[in-house]
Chains A and B, each alone.
Chain A
Amino acid sequence: MIPELGQFALVLALCLGLSQAVLPLVGAHTGRRDLMALARPAAAGQFVFVVLAYIVLTQAFLADDFSVRYVAQNSNTELPVAYKFAAVWGGHEGSLLLWVMILAVWTLAVAAASRAQPAVFTSRVIGVLGIVSVGVLAFTLFTSNPFDRLIPAAIEGNDLNPLLQDPAMVAHPPMLYIGYVGLAVPFAFAVAALLSGRLDKNWARWTRPWTVIAWLFLTIGIALGSWWAYYELGWGGWWFWDPVENASFMPWLMATALLHSLAVTERRGIFKSWTVLLAIAAFSLSLLGTFLVRSGVLISVHAFASDPTRGLFILLLLGLISGGALLLYATRAKLMVAEGGFRLMSRESFLMANNILLVTATGAVLFGTLYPLFLDALGLGKISVGPPYFNLVFLLPMLPLALLLGAGMHAWWMKMKGAALVRKLAWPAGLAVAFGIVLPLFVFGQTSFMTAIGVIAGLWVCGAALLDPLRRLLRPKQGMRLTRAHWGMVLAHFGVGMFILGATVTSAYNIETDRGVSPGERWETGGYEFLFRGVRDVQGPNFDAVEGEVELLRNGELIALLTPQKRVYRVQQSPMTEAAIDGRIHRDVFVALGDSLGGGAWSMRIQIKPLIRFIWYGCAIMALGGLLAATDRRYRHVPERARAGPAIEPGAVGEA
Chain B
Amino acid sequence: MTPRRRRMVLVGLVLAGIVVSAALALRAFQLNLQYFFSPTQVAEGEVADARNFRLGGMVLEESVVREEGSLTVSFVVTDYLHSVPVEYTGVLPDLFQEGKGVVTLGRMEPSGRFVAEQVLAKHDENYMPPEVAEALEQAREREQL
A515 to B93, CA, bound (A): 15
Q: Mark B70-112, 1 if CB is under 8 A from A, else 0.
A: 1100000000000000000111111100000000000000000
Q: Report yes or no: B25 in contact with A396, Cβ–Cβ below 8 A.
A: yes
Least CB separation from A297: chain B residue: B130
Which among B92, B125, B134 has the highest number of chain A CB atoms within 10 Å?
Answer: B125
Q: Report yes or no: A384 in contact with B34, Cβ–Cβ below 8 A.
A: yes
Chain A, range 566-592, C-beta contacts under 8 Å to B = 572-577, 592
B124 at the interface (CB under 8 A from A): yes
Q: Report yes or no: A382 in contact with B123, Cβ–Cβ below 8 A.
A: no
Instruction: Using A299-B130, A301-B122, A344-B7 as known contacts, say yes or no to A601 and B69 having CB atoms under 8 A apart.
Output: yes
Chain B, range 16-71, C-beta contacts under 8 Å to A = 21, 24-25, 28-29, 31-36, 54, 66, 68-71
A595 at the interface (CB under 8 A from B): yes
Q: Report yes or no: B69 in contact with A599, Cβ–Cβ below 8 A.
A: yes
Least CB separation from B25: chain A residue: A393
A396 to B95, CA, bound (A): 36
Q: Report yes or no: B21 in contact with A396, Cβ–Cβ below 8 A.
A: yes
- Inter-chain contacts of B122 with A (CB < 8 A): 233, 299-301
Q: How far is the CB of B38 from chain A (nearest CB, A)?
A: 9
Q: Report yes or no: A575 in contact with B32, Cβ–Cβ below 8 A.
A: no
Least CB separation from B70: chain A residue: A516
A101 to B37, CA, bound (A): 43
Q: Mark A589-613, 1 if CB is under 8 A from B, else 0.
A: 0001011011101011100000000
Q: Report yes or no: A595 in contact with B91, Cβ–Cβ below 8 A.
A: yes
Q: Which of A163, A299, A576, A605 contacts B129 (CB 8 A)?
A: A299
Q: Report yes or no: B24 in contact with A306, Cβ–Cβ below 8 A.
A: no
Main secondary structure of the interface of A (DSSP, over half): mixed
Q: Mark A172-190, 1 if CB is under 8 A from B, else 0.
A: 0000000000000000000
Instruction: Using A161-B124, A598-B68 as known contacts, say yes or no to A386 and B95 having CB atoms under 8 A apart.
Output: no
Least CB separation from B7: chain A residue: A344
Interface size class, chain B: 35 or more
Q: Report yes or no: A388 in contact with B69, Cβ–Cβ below 8 A.
A: no
How many residues does chain A have at the interface if contact means C-beta atoms less than 8 Å apart?
50
Q: Report yes or no: B91 in contact with A383, Cβ–Cβ below 8 A.
A: no
Q: How far is the CB of B89 from chain A (nearest CB, A)?
A: 8
Q: Which of B32, B66, B70 contacts A388 (CB 8 A)?
A: B32
Q: Which of B90, B124, B130 contacts A301 (CB 8 A)?
A: B124
- Inter-chain contacts of B21 with A (CB < 8 A): 360, 396-397
A385 at the interface (CB under 8 A from B): yes
Q: Report yes or no: A576 in contact with B68, Cβ–Cβ below 8 A.
A: no
Q: Report yes or no: A514 in contact with B90, Cβ–Cβ below 8 A.
A: yes
A299 to B90, CA, bound (A): 23
A363 to B108, CA, bound (A): 34
Chain A, range 382-403, C-beta contacts under 8 Å to B = 382-389, 392-393, 396-397
Q: Report yes or no: A575 in contact with B94, Cβ–Cβ below 8 A.
A: yes
Q: Report yes or no: A597 in contact with B66, Cβ–Cβ below 8 A.
A: yes
Q: Report yes or no: A382 in contact with B35, Cβ–Cβ below 8 A.
A: yes
Q: Report yes or no: A392 in contact with B69, Cβ–Cβ below 8 A.
A: no
Chain A, range 279-322, C-beta contacts under 8 Å to B = 296, 299-301, 303, 306
Q: Report yes or no: B31 in contact with A388, Cβ–Cβ below 8 A.
A: yes
A489 to B61, CA, bound (A): 58
A495 at the interface (CB under 8 A from B): no
Q: Report yes or no: A515 in contact with B7, Cβ–Cβ below 8 A.
A: no
Q: Report yes or no: B124 in contact with A605, Cβ–Cβ below 8 A.
A: no
Q: Report yes or no: B91 in contact with A603, Cβ–Cβ below 8 A.
A: yes
- Inter-chain contacts of B91 with A (CB < 8 A): 235, 514, 592, 594-595, 603-605
Identify 13 new A-B residue pairs, CB closer than 8 A, beyond the known A299-B129, A605-B91. A234-B94, A299-B123, A382-B36, A386-B34, A389-B31, A393-B29, A516-B69, A575-B94, A597-B70, A598-B68, A599-B68, A599-B69, A604-B91
Give 15 A-B contacts (CB < 8 Å), ordered by A residue: A299-B131, A360-B21, A367-B29, A381-B36, A383-B33, A387-B32, A388-B28, A392-B25, A393-B25, A518-B69, A575-B95, A577-B94, A597-B71, A603-B91, A604-B91
